Amino acid sequence: MKILMAEFRVSVLFVCMGNICRSPTAEGVFRKYVSDAGLDADIQTDSAGTHAYHSGEPADRRAHAAALRRGFSLEGICARRVTEEDFDTFDYILAMDQDNLMVLQERAPNELRGKVRLFLEFAESRRENEVPDPYYGGAAGFERVLDLVEEASQGLLETLRKKI
């Protein structure tokens, strides 16, 4: 039986461009943090891309391998494009970088633009504002993405705990 979004107290959508590297990594990491905290019934997570380049494809194999090495699974996550309904459905729509933030803000209805933010706003150190795209680089890029995503996920979870 699929759980309907309305049953959750808070819903989070992670967004990058193609939804095969950064946003599925954020979804997988955050999903594990939520589960470890015993909040599966309270917090819904998903990911999407601003573009449909990879719709229906699984997470990039390099992202998946890097996540597995740290104990996170990206299994079952398939790329999809952000829909108009997502702006109504999700409480937090978190972009990985400024470019995708701008695309989301342009697509969002005026009254829902406040839901759209940069994911790294939740990182405690806030040394960086963007999660860099590792797609055209090597393994070190995927490790850097995980470092940033883990830190921001911890901050996001703490923020959401206060709202639940």
Q: What is the pLDDT of residue 127?
A: 83
User: How far apart, in whole angstroms, are the C-alpha atoms of residue 152 and residue 126?
Assistant: 9
Q: What is the pLDDT of residues 9-40, one digit of tens each?
A: 999 999 999 999 999 999 999 999 999 999 99
User: How far apart, in whole angstroms, are the C-alpha atoms of residue 144 and residue 132?
Assistant: 8
Q: Which three-class secondary structure state does DSSP give residue 51?
A: coil
Q: What is the pLDDT of residues 39-89, one digit of tens each?
A: 999 999 999 999 999 999 999 999 999 999 999 999 999 999 999 999 999
Sheet of 116-118: strands edge to edge?
43-49, 10-16, 92-95, 116-118
Neighbouring CB atoms inside 10 A of 136's CB total 6
Q: What is the pLDDT of residue 8?
A: 82
- Residues serving a catalytic function are 16, 22, 133
| Domain 5-161: assigned CATH number | 3.40.50.2300
Contact indicator for 22, 149 with CB cutoff of 8 Å: yes
Please check the confidence at residue 146 and state whether its pLDDT lies above 70.
yes
User: How far apart, in whole angstroms, are the C-alpha atoms of residue 72 and residue 55?
Assistant: 22
Question: Domain limits of the chain?
Answer: 5-161
Average pLDDT over residues 97-102: 98
Q: What is the pTM of this model?
A: 0.94
Please check the confidence at residue 5 and state whether its pLDDT lies above 60.
no
pLDDT band at 125 (very low <50, low <70, confident <90, very high): confident
Counts of helices then strands in the chain (DSSP H, E): 5, 4
pLDDT band at 4 (very low <50, low <70, confident <90, very high): very low
- Average of per-residue pLDDT values in the chain: 94
Q: How far is CA 44 from the centre of its chain?
A: 11
Under 8 Å CB-to-CB from 132, ≥6 apart: which residues? Answer: 97, 141, 144, 145
